[in-house]
Amino acid sequence: MYLVQQGQLGFDSMPKKLIKVTPSRLGVWNDCRRRFRMAYVDRPTPPRGGPWAHSTMGAVVHNALKALFDLPVERRTPDSAAALVGTHWKDDGFADPKQAAEFRGRAAGWVHDYVKETDVTDDPVGLERWVSAPVGTIVAEGRVDRIDQRGGELVIVDYKTGRHALSTDDARGSQALALYVLAARRTLRRPCTRVELHHLPTGTVAAWEHTEDSLARHLTRAEEAADEFQLAIDTHKAGGDPEVLFPPNPGRQCSWCDFRRNCAEGQAAGPAIDPWAMLSP
Protein backbone atom coordinates (compact mmCIF):
# COMPACT_ATOMS: atom_id res chain seq x y z
CA MET A 1 0.00 0.00 0.00
CA TYR A 2 1.31 3.43 -0.90
CA LEU A 3 0.77 6.39 1.38
CA VAL A 4 0.41 9.79 -0.25
CA GLN A 5 1.78 12.62 1.82
CA GLN A 6 -0.52 15.58 2.35
CA GLY A 7 -0.23 18.03 -0.56
CA GLN A 8 1.85 15.63 -2.66
CA LEU A 9 -0.90 15.26 -5.27
CA GLY A 10 -2.94 18.35 -4.54
CA PHE A 11 -5.09 20.19 -7.03
CA ASP A 12 -2.32 22.71 -7.63
CA SER A 13 -0.33 19.99 -9.41
CA MET A 14 -3.15 19.09 -11.80
CA PRO A 15 -2.70 20.25 -15.38
CA LYS A 16 -4.83 23.19 -16.46
CA LYS A 17 -7.72 22.26 -18.73
CA LEU A 18 -7.18 23.48 -22.28
CA ILE A 19 -9.71 26.00 -23.57
CA LYS A 20 -11.34 25.33 -26.93
CA VAL A 21 -10.98 28.35 -29.20
CA THR A 22 -12.37 29.11 -32.64
CA PRO A 23 -11.74 32.29 -34.62
CA SER A 24 -15.45 33.16 -34.50
CA ARG A 25 -15.53 32.82 -30.72
CA LEU A 26 -12.49 35.06 -30.34
CA GLY A 27 -13.94 37.59 -32.77
CA VAL A 28 -17.24 37.83 -30.92
CA TRP A 29 -15.49 38.16 -27.55
CA ASN A 30 -13.35 41.02 -28.81
CA ASP A 31 -16.34 42.67 -30.51
CA CYS A 32 -18.95 42.56 -27.74
CA ARG A 33 -19.01 40.61 -24.47
CA ARG A 34 -22.83 40.64 -24.28
CA ARG A 35 -23.08 39.21 -27.78
CA PHE A 36 -20.59 36.52 -26.70
CA ARG A 37 -22.79 35.61 -23.75
CA MET A 38 -25.91 35.34 -25.86
CA ALA A 39 -24.15 33.30 -28.56
CA TYR A 40 -22.09 30.92 -26.43
CA VAL A 41 -23.28 30.99 -22.82
CA ASP A 42 -27.03 31.59 -22.58
CA ARG A 43 -29.15 28.47 -22.92
CA PRO A 44 -31.50 28.45 -24.62
CA THR A 45 -29.82 30.80 -27.06
CA PRO A 46 -31.85 34.00 -27.50
CA PRO A 47 -33.57 34.35 -30.89
CA ARG A 48 -31.36 35.71 -33.63
CA GLY A 49 -32.21 38.06 -36.46
CA GLY A 50 -32.95 36.90 -39.98
CA PRO A 51 -30.49 36.02 -42.76
CA TRP A 52 -28.15 38.57 -44.33
CA ALA A 53 -27.87 38.75 -48.10
CA HIS A 54 -24.08 39.18 -48.08
CA SER A 55 -23.71 36.10 -45.84
CA THR A 56 -25.95 34.10 -48.16
CA MET A 57 -23.85 35.16 -51.12
CA GLY A 58 -20.60 34.24 -49.38
CA ALA A 59 -21.92 30.82 -48.40
CA VAL A 60 -23.06 30.11 -51.96
CA VAL A 61 -19.64 30.98 -53.38
CA HIS A 62 -17.91 28.76 -50.82
CA ASN A 63 -20.26 25.85 -51.55
CA ALA A 64 -19.84 26.25 -55.31
CA LEU A 65 -16.04 26.16 -55.07
CA LYS A 66 -16.13 23.14 -52.78
CA ALA A 67 -18.41 21.34 -55.22
CA LEU A 68 -16.11 22.22 -58.09
CA PHE A 69 -13.21 20.31 -56.54
CA ASP A 70 -15.47 17.31 -56.07
CA LEU A 71 -15.72 17.08 -59.87
CA PRO A 72 -13.22 15.19 -62.04
CA VAL A 73 -10.37 17.43 -63.17
CA GLU A 74 -11.58 17.62 -66.77
CA ARG A 75 -14.92 19.06 -65.60
CA ARG A 76 -13.45 21.82 -63.41
CA THR A 77 -14.11 24.52 -65.97
CA PRO A 78 -15.11 28.16 -65.48
CA ASP A 79 -18.55 27.45 -66.92
CA SER A 80 -19.07 24.50 -64.57
CA ALA A 81 -18.05 26.69 -61.64
CA ALA A 82 -20.52 29.40 -62.63
CA ALA A 83 -23.30 26.84 -63.02
CA LEU A 84 -22.61 25.54 -59.51
CA VAL A 85 -23.42 29.00 -58.15
CA GLY A 86 -26.92 28.57 -59.57
CA THR A 87 -27.15 25.05 -58.13
CA HIS A 88 -26.36 26.27 -54.62
CA TRP A 89 -28.10 29.64 -54.79
CA LYS A 90 -30.58 30.88 -52.18
CA ASP A 91 -32.52 34.15 -52.05
CA ASP A 92 -32.28 34.47 -48.25
CA GLY A 93 -31.84 38.08 -47.11
CA PHE A 94 -32.30 39.77 -50.48
CA ALA A 95 -34.85 42.53 -51.03
CA ASP A 96 -36.70 40.72 -53.80
CA PRO A 97 -36.18 38.17 -56.60
CA LYS A 98 -34.86 40.85 -58.95
CA GLN A 99 -32.07 41.86 -56.56
CA ALA A 100 -31.29 38.21 -55.84
CA ALA A 101 -30.98 37.47 -59.56
CA GLU A 102 -28.62 40.42 -60.05
CA PHE A 103 -26.28 39.22 -57.34
CA ARG A 104 -26.54 35.60 -58.42
CA GLY A 105 -25.16 36.78 -61.75
CA ARG A 106 -22.37 38.67 -60.02
CA ALA A 107 -21.39 35.67 -57.93
CA ALA A 108 -21.39 33.41 -60.98
CA GLY A 109 -19.11 35.89 -62.74
CA TRP A 110 -16.71 36.03 -59.80
CA VAL A 111 -16.45 32.26 -59.61
CA HIS A 112 -16.12 31.90 -63.39
CA ASP A 113 -13.23 34.37 -63.54
CA TYR A 114 -11.56 32.92 -60.45
CA VAL A 115 -11.47 29.43 -61.92
CA LYS A 116 -10.33 30.81 -65.26
CA GLU A 117 -7.28 32.41 -63.62
CA THR A 118 -6.56 29.71 -61.03
CA ASP A 119 -4.97 26.27 -61.42
CA VAL A 120 -7.67 23.91 -60.16
CA THR A 121 -6.14 20.69 -61.47
CA ASP A 122 -4.54 19.66 -58.16
CA ASP A 123 -6.78 18.15 -55.50
CA PRO A 124 -6.59 20.11 -52.25
CA VAL A 125 -5.57 18.37 -49.04
CA GLY A 126 -8.75 19.66 -47.46
CA LEU A 127 -11.99 21.40 -48.45
CA GLU A 128 -14.08 22.94 -45.68
CA ARG A 129 -11.75 20.89 -43.47
CA TRP A 130 -12.18 20.96 -39.70
CA VAL A 131 -8.84 21.18 -37.91
CA SER A 132 -8.36 20.94 -34.16
CA ALA A 133 -5.18 20.64 -32.11
CA PRO A 134 -3.83 21.56 -28.67
CA VAL A 135 -1.44 24.50 -28.91
CA GLY A 136 -0.10 26.22 -25.82
CA THR A 137 -2.96 26.61 -23.34
CA ILE A 138 -5.75 26.34 -25.93
CA VAL A 139 -7.21 23.92 -28.42
CA ALA A 140 -7.19 25.81 -31.72
CA GLU A 141 -10.13 24.78 -33.87
CA GLY A 142 -11.88 25.88 -37.02
CA ARG A 143 -13.11 25.03 -40.49
CA VAL A 144 -10.65 25.96 -43.25
CA ASP A 145 -12.03 26.84 -46.69
CA ARG A 146 -9.20 25.08 -48.50
CA ILE A 147 -5.84 23.55 -47.65
CA ASP A 148 -3.40 23.14 -50.52
CA GLN A 149 -0.12 21.28 -50.59
CA ARG A 150 2.60 23.02 -52.55
CA GLY A 151 6.19 21.84 -52.58
CA GLY A 152 5.78 19.67 -49.52
CA GLU A 153 4.15 22.40 -47.41
CA LEU A 154 0.56 23.20 -46.58
CA VAL A 155 -1.04 26.50 -47.60
CA ILE A 156 -4.14 27.87 -45.87
CA VAL A 157 -6.59 29.41 -48.37
CA ASP A 158 -9.52 31.57 -47.28
CA TYR A 159 -12.14 32.80 -49.77
CA LYS A 160 -13.46 36.34 -49.35
CA THR A 161 -16.44 37.99 -51.04
CA GLY A 162 -16.67 41.30 -49.18
CA ARG A 163 -16.82 44.79 -50.64
CA HIS A 164 -13.17 45.72 -50.29
CA ALA A 165 -9.96 44.32 -51.72
CA LEU A 166 -7.56 42.88 -49.16
CA SER A 167 -3.89 43.55 -48.51
CA THR A 168 -0.85 41.76 -47.16
CA ASP A 169 -1.58 43.40 -43.82
CA ASP A 170 -4.97 41.68 -43.76
CA ALA A 171 -3.34 38.29 -44.30
CA ARG A 172 -0.61 38.97 -41.75
CA GLY A 173 -3.03 40.30 -39.13
CA SER A 174 -5.67 37.60 -39.46
CA GLN A 175 -5.79 35.71 -36.19
CA ALA A 176 -8.08 33.15 -37.79
CA LEU A 177 -5.53 32.23 -40.46
CA ALA A 178 -2.72 32.01 -37.90
CA LEU A 179 -4.75 29.65 -35.74
CA TYR A 180 -5.55 27.54 -38.80
CA VAL A 181 -1.81 27.26 -39.49
CA LEU A 182 -1.14 26.07 -35.95
CA ALA A 183 -4.00 23.58 -35.99
CA ALA A 184 -3.31 22.28 -39.50
CA ARG A 185 0.33 21.61 -38.66
CA ARG A 186 -0.66 19.35 -35.79
CA THR A 187 -3.71 17.79 -37.45
CA LEU A 188 -2.04 16.95 -40.77
CA ARG A 189 1.55 16.68 -39.48
CA ARG A 190 3.11 18.74 -42.25
CA PRO A 191 4.93 22.08 -42.39
CA CYS A 192 2.71 25.14 -42.84
CA THR A 193 3.57 28.85 -42.82
CA ARG A 194 1.77 30.44 -45.78
CA VAL A 195 -1.73 31.91 -45.64
CA GLU A 196 -3.72 33.41 -48.52
CA LEU A 197 -6.86 35.52 -48.78
CA HIS A 198 -8.52 34.99 -52.17
CA HIS A 199 -10.82 37.97 -52.82
CA LEU A 200 -13.14 36.84 -55.60
CA PRO A 201 -14.75 40.20 -56.52
CA THR A 202 -11.36 41.67 -57.45
CA GLY A 203 -9.54 38.46 -58.38
CA THR A 204 -6.67 39.33 -56.03
CA VAL A 205 -4.69 37.22 -53.57
CA ALA A 206 -3.23 38.67 -50.37
CA ALA A 207 -0.59 36.35 -48.92
CA TRP A 208 1.71 36.15 -45.92
CA GLU A 209 4.49 33.80 -44.83
CA HIS A 210 4.32 33.37 -41.07
CA THR A 211 7.38 32.95 -38.90
CA GLU A 212 7.50 31.17 -35.58
CA ASP A 213 7.58 34.60 -33.90
CA SER A 214 4.53 35.91 -35.74
CA LEU A 215 2.58 32.75 -34.96
CA ALA A 216 3.64 32.98 -31.31
CA ARG A 217 2.27 36.53 -31.12
CA HIS A 218 -1.08 35.44 -32.51
CA LEU A 219 -1.13 32.49 -30.11
CA THR A 220 -0.39 34.70 -27.11
CA ARG A 221 -3.27 37.03 -27.98
CA ALA A 222 -5.60 34.05 -28.43
CA GLU A 223 -4.53 32.57 -25.10
CA GLU A 224 -5.11 35.87 -23.31
CA ALA A 225 -8.60 36.24 -24.77
CA ALA A 226 -9.41 32.60 -24.00
CA ASP A 227 -8.37 33.06 -20.36
CA GLU A 228 -10.60 36.13 -20.15
CA PHE A 229 -13.73 34.54 -21.56
CA GLN A 230 -13.27 31.28 -19.67
CA LEU A 231 -12.92 33.19 -16.40
CA ALA A 232 -16.11 35.11 -17.19
CA ILE A 233 -17.95 31.88 -18.02
CA ASP A 234 -16.77 30.14 -14.85
CA THR A 235 -17.63 33.14 -12.69
CA HIS A 236 -21.08 33.32 -14.28
CA LYS A 237 -21.66 29.64 -13.54
CA ALA A 238 -20.69 30.30 -9.92
CA GLY A 239 -23.38 32.98 -9.63
CA GLY A 240 -21.64 36.07 -10.95
CA ASP A 241 -23.64 38.93 -12.41
CA PRO A 242 -23.84 38.46 -16.21
CA GLU A 243 -24.30 42.22 -16.76
CA VAL A 244 -20.94 42.84 -15.09
CA LEU A 245 -19.13 39.87 -16.61
CA PHE A 246 -20.49 40.37 -20.14
CA PRO A 247 -21.08 44.10 -20.67
CA PRO A 248 -22.36 45.46 -23.99
CA ASN A 249 -20.12 47.38 -26.37
CA PRO A 250 -22.52 49.74 -28.17
CA GLY A 251 -21.37 51.04 -31.54
CA ARG A 252 -22.13 51.08 -35.23
CA GLN A 253 -21.80 47.29 -35.32
CA CYS A 254 -25.04 47.09 -33.34
CA SER A 255 -26.95 47.98 -36.51
CA TRP A 256 -26.25 44.51 -37.93
CA CYS A 257 -25.94 42.43 -34.74
CA ASP A 258 -27.90 39.16 -34.84
CA PHE A 259 -28.98 39.71 -31.22
CA ARG A 260 -30.05 43.33 -31.61
CA ARG A 261 -33.65 42.60 -30.64
CA ASN A 262 -32.45 41.38 -27.22
CA CYS A 263 -30.23 44.37 -26.40
CA ALA A 264 -31.62 47.79 -25.47
CA GLU A 265 -28.16 49.39 -25.61
CA GLY A 266 -27.63 48.06 -29.10
CA GLN A 267 -30.96 49.37 -30.30
CA ALA A 268 -30.15 52.80 -28.85
CA ALA A 269 -26.75 52.86 -30.58
CA GLY A 270 -28.26 53.36 -34.02
CA PRO A 271 -30.96 52.24 -36.44
CA ALA A 272 -31.14 48.74 -37.82
CA ILE A 273 -30.03 48.28 -41.42
CA ASP A 274 -31.71 46.28 -44.15
CA PRO A 275 -30.57 42.66 -44.60
CA TRP A 276 -29.15 43.55 -48.02
CA ALA A 277 -27.41 46.78 -46.96
CA MET A 278 -23.93 45.21 -46.79
CA LEU A 279 -23.89 44.00 -50.38
CA SER A 280 -21.43 45.63 -52.74
CA PRO A 281 -23.00 48.61 -54.58
Cα dihedral angle (254, 259, 262, 267), rounded to 10 degrees?
A: 20
Q: What residues form DSSP beta bridges with 208?
A: 195
Of 219, 246, 271, which one is at a domain's C-terminal end?
219
b/e map of 182-213 (b: 16 or more CB within 10 Å)?
bbbbbbbeeebbbbbbbbbbeeeebebebeee
CA distance 219 to 24: 15
Of 117, 136, 156, which one is at a domain's C-terminal end?
117
Of 90, 117, 144, which one is at a domain's C-terminal end?
117
Domain identity same for 66 and 130? no
CA distance 222 to 183: 13
Q: How would you write the pLDDT of the chain (281 residues) with one tens digit per residue?
A: 334 444 444 445 556 789 999 999 999 999 999 999 999 999 999 999 999 999 999 999 999 999 999 999 999 999 999 999 999 999 999 999 999 999 999 999 999 999 999 999 999 999 999 999 999 999 999 999 999 999 999 999 999 999 999 999 999 999 999 999 999 999 999 999 999 999 999 999 999 999 999 999 999 999 999 999 999 999 999 999 999 999 999 999 999 999 999 999 999 999 999 999 999 88
Domain identity same for 78 and 109? yes
How many other CB atoms are found less than 10 A from the CB of residue 16? 7
Domain identity same for 215 and 132? yes
Residue 265 domain-assigned? Answer: no
Q: Where are the alpha helices (DSSP H) in 70-207?
A: 78-88, 97-117, 168-173, 175-188
Domain identity same for 112 and 131? no
Domain identity same for 138 and 69? no
Residue 207 domain-assigned? Answer: yes
Residue 82 domain-assigned? Answer: yes
Closest CA to 207 of 166, 246, 241: 166
Domain that holds residue 185: 126-219
Give, to the nearest 10 degrees, the angle between helix 23-31 and helix 175-188: 160
Residue 237 domain-assigned? Answer: no
Number of domains within the chain: 2
Three-state secondary-structure class, residue 216: helix
Asked if 188 and 154 touch (Cβ cutoff 8 Å), the reply is yes
Task: Write down the pTM of the prediction.
Answer: 0.91
Closest CA to 146 of 119, 169, 109: 119
The enclosing domain of 160 has a CATH number of: 3.90.320.10
Closest CA to 42 of 22, 28, 23, 31: 28
Residue 97 domain-assigned? Answer: yes
Asked if 151 and 125 touch (Cβ cutoff 8 Å), the reply is no
Domain identity same for 132 and 112? no
Residue 15 domain-assigned? Answer: no
β-pair type (204-209, 126-135): unpaired
| Residue 206: CA count within 13 A, CB half-sphere | 19
Domain identity same for 142 and 186? yes
Residue 107 domain-assigned? Answer: yes
Residue 171 domain-assigned? Answer: yes
